[in-house]
Structure 1
Amino acid sequence: MGQDVVLRCYLSPRQDARSLEVRWIRDNISETVHHYRNGQDLYGEQMGAYAGRTELVRDGLSAGSLDLRITRLRPSDDGRYICIVKDADAYDKATVDLEMSATGTDPHLSLGGYEARGVWVLCRSAGWYPLPQLLWRDARGQHLPSVSQTHSQDQEGLFEIEGAVIVTGSVEGPLSCVVRSSRLQQERESSLHISAPFFHNAQPWMVALALVLVLLAVSIGLGVYLFRKQEKKAAELAWRKCLLPQNTVKITLDPHTAHPLLVVSKDHRSVRRESKSQQVHNSQDRFKYWCCVLGHEEFEEGRHCWEVEVEVEGELENESCWAVGVTRASVNKKEKNYPKNGIWALMYQQGQLMPLTSRIHLPLSPVPTRIWVCLDCTQQQVSFINADNGVEIYTFTAASFNGDSIRPWFLLETEGTQLCLKDSTPQTLSPALRGSCDSPATPASPLLGPAGAAQE
């Protein structure tokens, strides 16, 4: 993170590339990272995240070198890049995988309480990418099981990880917390020695008194941090409990918006990505370049939820690409570049789930196949919840709807992938999502199925 990198690409056999058109894009989608044509750099289509951070290395163009330099690397730069070169008669491309990494801070150890003649020890470290491992070791190098472990990401995409362990008097010598990066094979370690009076040799009231004195010095800042974190989680849980299933809606697909490679069933309950374009009416409402389809329904106020169920045929799951979310009703359906402005969605690609706009991989294993999409027009917020366990996956906060109505949005980019709409009932919800709210339960929304990939 923060360093510069040069992505290598060259012509074979070597030839002068100064008169060619060169375009570097992200993944399999036409999100332009850098564009060069006829000796000039063109920035009109460049992604905002790369503004002022890219350049084509001109020194090697005459020898067929198409290298791209990216400066001040960020976690969001992690992923696959495609180098495309063409002239009037030829076209070809090559891929480069860029793996980002960042080593975080030394683990911070603190005491968290007394329980069952043992002492809670907390360990926290921040500034990592990708998500690291957190391990506990005793003086003999033996691993100790964690009683809890959580993680979060900051605005830059860096991970903070926190774990806890209960230490008893049977643990001899210093206790070590190790945070390790699997990508870099690097780790940071901190140790703590807890003296005998904290364990069973002391009277309980003496242990409690000693812990109070120690915690008084270290827990003020940690207490504020945990309080704010718990307060946020409580608010999110309240939102989910009152949102589901009382605010569920039934979503159907609008075939007039479907890309010609998508086949929508007569009852508008399913859509399938085919290999050949269908004979359809070419209207202004239909997506032209990207395999998208909208829902019939439009929302301007209130809270609304629907469930999306993803199904992928055969062995295509890890190679499939699909996305679900919402968009402004005024989204440009004829835009040649990837339609991301005014869209709030989660995308599955290369075995990873990520927000459509930031492309930060969400560390979920396994990736959920049933997702609740929750739209709050009043708060301008879009949340995605794992329907299997009720855990929040990701939330777009302070989304800018600009007074526009909002419609469900789906993307299928892989041939043979199918999206099915099914009726679900409140009984199928995870117990964590049930809860007592004032309004009576209404029928749950249809289940939405998977998506696939379209090439221009």
Structure 2
Amino acid sequence: MGDSCLCRLSLLLLLQLPTWASTGQFRVIGPSEPIVAVLGGDAMLPCYVFPATNVRNMELRWFRTTLEESVFVYRNQRERKDEQMAEYAGRTSRKDEQMAEYAGRTSVDFLAHGEAAVNIHDIRVSDSGTYTCFFKTGSFFEEANLELKVAGVGSAPQVYIQGPEEDGVRVVCAASGWFPKPQVQWRDVSGKKILAFSEAHTQDAEELFSVEATLVVRDSSVGNVTCSILNPILGQERAAAIFIPEPFFPQASPWKPAFAVSLTVMGLLLFGAGCFLHREHSAKLQILQERKQKRLEKEEDKKTKEQALKEKDELQAELGQRKAAYLAAWRKAQLYADWRKEQFQARSVILDPGSAHASIDLSPGKTSLTWKDSSGSEIWSVLGLEGITSGRWYWEVRIRNGDHSEWTVGICREDVERTGWYIESLGKGFWVVRWGKHGYFTDGKCDTGFPVKQECCRVGVFLDYSEGDVSFYDMAEGSHIFSLPQASFSGTLFPYFSFKSGCGSLELPASLNNSSLEETLRPSGKGLISGSAVDDVAPGADFPLLSGSPEL
């Protein structure tokens, strides 16, 4: 049948050759006979153009009713899965080699000869129907229709005696899992057809047919009866026979009890066989469901990993952009303490015992101190041992139990007055920030306080001697606390620490380790405190990625 179909197609193409050659276009040709596919198997849908034209750069599409119901799309020399119907996802492929067998060719590059075919895997009942293959180049396109017939052979028929019926015996034949609707035929031992008493068909959720046919046998001499189930598309049938003993017929049997016992035994045997078959079928269905679930979970895991990688790449790109912008104008930026530290030299501060108030206890290494509640009549202070006359430096101060006391950190000139009760202000040579019960203060004035959410336990002091810049950062949060107005330094400056009330301890770490870069990447403005800008430019005015707090 395939050879005659190809001959008719070839003759038709030869007759149409003058018309197509004159127009310079092509026709799309598909099989003239329906394509038959078996449930669970594969089906190939071939099409080719005439005259033979290279279709590698064309748009090739197989669809059901409309172009949007695409089964397979080939464009720009690759498959376009994003335009495919969901029910065909993962079930289609382009099969040039199989299509070559259909066309009788031996060449490998079938697209160059205008030939293409799509293979549909794991055939379902819903795949049955009409398909259209569509070939397009530029604004010109042609298409051809194909018909796919799906068929499946189900279970073998089960034939059993149901019981007496009027003057005969009722025999039942049942089968399931067939498509399309199967044909049932009864025959006697000589092969003669017997008309069925009744026949009922039902379809399950997968659209497969089950059939139950009954036959009333009234001739006690008939002996065997055979029930055959035929698939009308495939022409395949399955049959089963049953022997009806003569004593089973009411008019001929004096032993009705024997009939009842035999019927019961047969019923039990059939029930056991049915349970076994049902259990086997359920086990197969469960295995298929587990495979499907694993495939879906694998696809979901793949999507999740791809999304995580995408988000990671986006975060790294954003981080790179922010750091590049920061490094381009780090003096004007008041964000990201860890990035700012890269522009400064870490300083290990050693406390000067000679400058310490008598009530301050220094550790043996002179890198930490403790203080007790003072009377409030004087300020207790201590200086760093080594002075600073140039460069960019930063050091970190860690305060314990500082929220119950009043303390000050920063720098001061060498000649400042530090006896009794004095004012820690810019005019007196102090560049400091002070913590008290109302929050942070600077310049020795109560009206220069600014709000913060909580007291900072790790304060970073940043000193740029040549630029006259002093800034304070919350190193635990990586956020800006305050920047003092630009000054003009001369002479030697010393790290400065003082206490007015409460009790607690202070530590100057010998080594300063940067925290992770992600900890500094916070939304603009979060955890920032008002401060002055450098060169009278508001922080972040020209750099939106480095936005800071407004000027105090």
TM-score normalized by structure 2? 0.38
Higher CA-based Rg:
2
Q: Between the two structures, name the one with larger relative contact order (CA 8 Å, sep ≥ 6).
A: 1
- Higher helix proportion: 2
What's the TM-score, normalizing by structure 1?
Answer: 0.46
